[in-house]
Amino acid sequence: MDLGAFEKKIAVTFQNKELLKQAFVHRSYLNENRGLKMAHNERLEFLGDAVLELIVTEYLYHKYPDNQEGDLTSYRASLVNAVTLSGVAESLGFNDYLLLSKGEARDTGRARQSILADTMEAVIGAIYIDQGYEVAKQFISENIFGLIDSIVAQGAWIDAKSRFQELAQEKTGVTPMYKTIRESGPDHDKHFVVGVYLNEACLAEGEGKSKQEAEQKAAEGALKSNGW
């Protein structure tokens, strides 16, 4: 896999090319290619998630000096969630470099969105290890910081659960309930499916790597299905 074009696109030249390659290796690919002496990207994702959160938090702290913690927390969530990160990853051409199992490669829905977001974090982790904090910060600045103005202007930083609860109570007088429908996967890679209910009616289901993420996805689905 030649990642030279990708390095040019992000303006980062890696000293350790194998580290960048590892960032694009999904666990499923190794499950189908057990003879390969490669590591998947989950450790890099773990590191990149922390680096991303710190850099975004620092940026928002200085950009919005008069805002309270609650607003800053919501702004941060809107910048580091799977929807935002997968969109950035797609715009940078991540799909051209992902190493996936045949089954995962065919999926273009929410599962691919989650993989792209995770890979974005893995790439950030790889940049941090190979190039250091400032280069990682520059990469995040160029590709993520600029999204916050439109997010705030559109009110997209208000999380879907809060929005759905407010509208459900206003329009129906009922408070939404969330129930876990399915839970699968090992402890290090859990997958949840959660349904959102008004009374006993399930309006939508959401999937995620945590119950909180799945609940947000379910709320988003309920907002769309109700035209809210």
Inform me whether the pLDDT recorded for 50 exceeds 80: yes
pLDDT, tens digit (0-9, with 9 covering 90-100), for 15-32: 999 999 999 999 999 988
Q: What is the pLDDT of residue 143?
A: 97
Is residue 14 very low, low, confident or very high in pLDDT (cuts 50, 70, 90)?
very high
What long-range pairs does 169-174 form, CB within 8 A, spacing at least 24? 171/228, 172/198, 174/198, 174/199
Q: Which of 45, 104, 118, 121 is catalytic?
A: 121
Q: Which of 45, 49, 104, 159 is catalytic?
A: 49
**Which single residue is written with the structure tokens 């989950």?**
42
Assess whether 118 carries a catalytic annotation.
no
CA distance 37 to 171: 57
The model scores a pTM over 0.85:
no
Q: What percent of the chain has pLDDT over 90?
A: 66
pLDDT top residue among 200 and 51: 51
Full set of structural domains in the chain with CATH: 4-154 (1.10.1520.10), 160-225 (3.30.160.20)
Show the DSSP H helices in 37-185 as ranges.
42-63, 69-80, 82-91, 102-106, 110-131, 133-143, 148-154, 160-172
CA distance 65 to 190: 37
Is residue 159 very low, low, confident or very high in pLDDT (cuts 50, 70, 90)?
confident
Assess whether 107 carries a catalytic annotation.
no
Q: What is the pLDDT of residue 156?
A: 66
Mean pLDDT value across the chain: 91
Contact 76, 160 (CB under 8 A): no
pLDDT top residue among 34 and 11: 11
Mean pLDDT of 143-167: 85
pLDDT, tens digit (0-9, with 9 covering 90-100), for 161-213: 888 998 999 999 999 999 999 999 887 778 899 999 999 999 999 998 888 88
CA distance 132 to 126: 9
Show Cβ contacts of residue 216 under 8 Å, excluding neighbours closer than 6 positions.
Answer: 81, 159, 160, 161, 206, 208
